[in-house]
């Protein structure tokens, strides 16, 4: 039976980042991903520039960021439109996630795809992990376990049963990729704040280069029910606003979660030597509309917690909770004041009137300060 210091399940963002920093610190690390990479990942790859500081490596933009965004255009419930300059990375998640996994390998982590976490058994001397591969069931032993398996976290659900979850879907997101003629700008992210289109955050439109090398428009939204109906309604609105013609949908993709969004149990960092990261920890911040940065930061801090715990003989969860305090508090604070708390567009507009100026100034300030902060101390925006 192979033995490792750290076992990590999940090859999206939190997992590879944790694996990279664990391996960099000399820990024998195994990272597994259930799918064959590159695999389809129906999530946005839009990120703020500080994301690279959290990763600790430069993203090869010529390969992964063919269509960077430079502006944001916000459409409010009262019809007002505000546009501002704001540079953002924009990459496809399948190729980006594969690059992250290979990056972890380059630092010394062992990476295996088509390898699924199946179960675990705690012993007095580490944890036995059962893996399902094409060759059958394999057993390994690890001192620390990191769950980075996303919105339907495999390890967390075995540890906590159904606490923090609900039956069925608590919310879903759906994207249509399409081609069209019209008045959309390639370098701009369009946000529509309207609970008729999205009652979880904002609905979106932007341009993306797919693996075939061609550019497509992406229109998407999130809702807690009837997702297709709401996206179709939003898409019709977009067609009208931007005078789109010759519209051709080439691809549809989506994902859902069973994590609760209005429960203190949602955010859970783990127990004993089991650490939760990213979406598996419940760090889903619908107000911000981005989650890759929080996933990456949690992965990096999980690695730091393990290294510090081993070196100083401190309980790893205690160290991790201390390192994660600011991020957890920000996520909880945003969730309490998020769009899910509003019942009408009038309430949402009133909130936006009060908060947008303050939020914009804070984003400018924190963007400036992030240039001088270390990767571990980045303040996530907005």
Q: What's the pLDDT tens digit per position in 326-348?
A: 999 988 887 776 666 688 999 88
Best CA proximity match to 87, nearest among 372, 283, 370, 299: 370
- What pLDDT, on a 0 to 100 scale, did the predictor assign at position 291? 82
For the domain that residue 355 is a member of, what is the CATH number? 3.30.9
Q: How many CA atoms lie within 13 A of 182 on its CB side?
A: 19
- Is residue 304 pLDDT above 80, yes or no? yes
Does 183 lie in the same domain as 234? yes
Residues 132 and 211 both lie in one domain: no
Helix (H) or strand (E) holding 192, with range, is: strand 188-192
The count of residues in the chain is 382
Domain match, 83 and 187 both:
yes
Whether the per-residue pLDDT at 195 is higher than 60: the answer is yes
Kindly state whether residues 228 and 193 are assigned to the same domain: yes
Residue 242 reports pLDDT greater than 70:
yes
Q: Where residue 22 falls among pLDDT bands split at 50, 70, 90? A: very high
- Asked if residue 306 and residue 351 are part of one domain, the reply reads no
Give the integer Cα–Cα distance in Å for 198 and 91.
23
Q: Round to whole Å and give the CA distance between 337 and 331.
A: 10
CA angle 290/93/144 to nearest 5° reads 80
pTM: 0.91
pLDDT digits (tens, 9 = 90+) for 119-177: 999 998 899 999 999 899 999 999 999 999 988 888 998 998 756 555 555 567 889 99
d(CA 74, CA 294): 23
In a domain, 309, yes or no: yes
What does the alpha-carbon distance between residue 175 and residue 188 come to, in Å, rounded to a whole number? 17
Closest by Cα among 123, 8, 106, 11 to 56: 106
pLDDT of residue 272: 94
248 part of a folded domain: yes
- Whether residue 269 is contained in a domain is answered as yes
* Same domain, residue pair 74 and 104: no
> For residue 258, what pLDDT band results from cuts at 50, 70 and 90?
low
| In a shared domain, residues 21 and 154 | yes
Mark whether 311 and 368 lie in a shared domain.
no
Distance CA 376, CA 302 (A): 11
Asked if the structure places residue 299 within a domain, the reply is yes
The pLDDT score that the predictor gives to residue 362 is 87
Which of 90-94, 338-342, 376-380 reaches the highest mean pLDDT?
376-380
Residue 59 belongs to some domain of the structure: no
Structural domains in the chain (count):
2
Together in a domain, 211 and 237: yes
- The answer on 111 and 208 residing in a single domain is no
Same domain, 285 and 366: no
| DSSP letter (8 states) at residue 379 | P
Range of the domain at 83: 67-90+171-257+347-382
CA distances 73 to 69, 88, 320, 345, 356, Å, are 11, 13, 37, 18, 13
DSSP classification of residue 262: S
Residues 296 and 352 in one domain: no
The residues, any chain, with a CB within 8 Å of residue 311's CB and separated by 6 or more, are none
Quote the percentage of the chain above a pLDDT of 90: 60
CATH number at residue 41: 3.50.50.60
Q: Is residue 56 part of a domain?
A: no
Express each pLDDT in 42-91 by its tens digit.
677 888 889 999 999 999 988 888 778 999 999 999 999 999 888 888 88
pLDDT at 162: 59
Q: Tell me whether residue 53 is in a domain.
A: no
- The count of C-alpha atoms lying within 13 angstroms of the C-alpha of 56, restricted to the half-sphere facing its C-beta, is 20
Is 51 among the domain residues?
Answer: no
């Amino acid at each position: 039976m192979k033995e490792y210091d750290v076992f990590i399940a999940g090859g999206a963002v939190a997992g590879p980042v944790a694996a990279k920093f664990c391996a960099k610190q000399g820990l024998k690390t195994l990272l597994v991903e259930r799918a064959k990479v590159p695999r389809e990942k129906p999530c946005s790859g839009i990120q703020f520039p500080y994301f690279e500081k959290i990763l600790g490596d430069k993203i090869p933009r010529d390969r992964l960021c063919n269509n960077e965004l430079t502006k944001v255009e916000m459409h409010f419930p009262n019809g007002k439109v505000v546009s501002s300059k704001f540079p953002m990375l924009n990459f496809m998640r399948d190729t980006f996630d594969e690059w992250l996994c290979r990056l972890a390998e380059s630092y010394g982590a062992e990476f295996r795809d088509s390898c699924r976490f199946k179960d675990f058994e705690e012993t007095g001397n580490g944890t036995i992990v059962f893996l399902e591969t094409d060759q059958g069931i394999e057993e390994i032993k690890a001192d620390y376990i990191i769950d980075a398996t996303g919105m339907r976290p495999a390890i967390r659900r075995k540890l906590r049963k159904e606490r923090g979850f609900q039956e069925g879907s608590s919310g879903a997101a759906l994207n249509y990729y399409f081609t069209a003629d019209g008045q959309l700008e390639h370098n701009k992210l369009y946000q529509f704040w309207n609970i008729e289109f999205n009652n979880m955050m904002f609905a979106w439109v932007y341009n993306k280069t797919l693996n075939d090398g061609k550019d497509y428009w992406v229109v998407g939204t999130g809702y807690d029910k009837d997702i297709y109906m709401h996206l179709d309604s939003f898409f019709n609105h977009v067609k009208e606003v931007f005078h789109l013609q010759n519209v051709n949908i080439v691809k549809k993709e989506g994902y859902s979660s069973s994590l609760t969004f209005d429960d203190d149990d949602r955010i859970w960092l783990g127990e004993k030597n089991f650490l939760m990261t990213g979406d598996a920890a419940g760090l889903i911040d619908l107000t911000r509309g981005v989650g890759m940065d929080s996933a990456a930061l949690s992965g990096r801090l999980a690695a730091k917690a393990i290294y510090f715990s081993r070196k100083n003989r401190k309980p790893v969860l205690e160290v991790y909770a201390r390192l994660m305090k600011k991020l957890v508090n920000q996520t909880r604070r945003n969730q309490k004041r998020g769009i899910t708390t509003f019942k009408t567009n009038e309430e949402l507009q009133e909130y936006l009137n009060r908060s947008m100026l303050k939020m914009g100034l804070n984003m400018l300030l924190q963007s400036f300060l992030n240039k001088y902060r270390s990767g571990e101390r980045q303040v996530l925006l907005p």
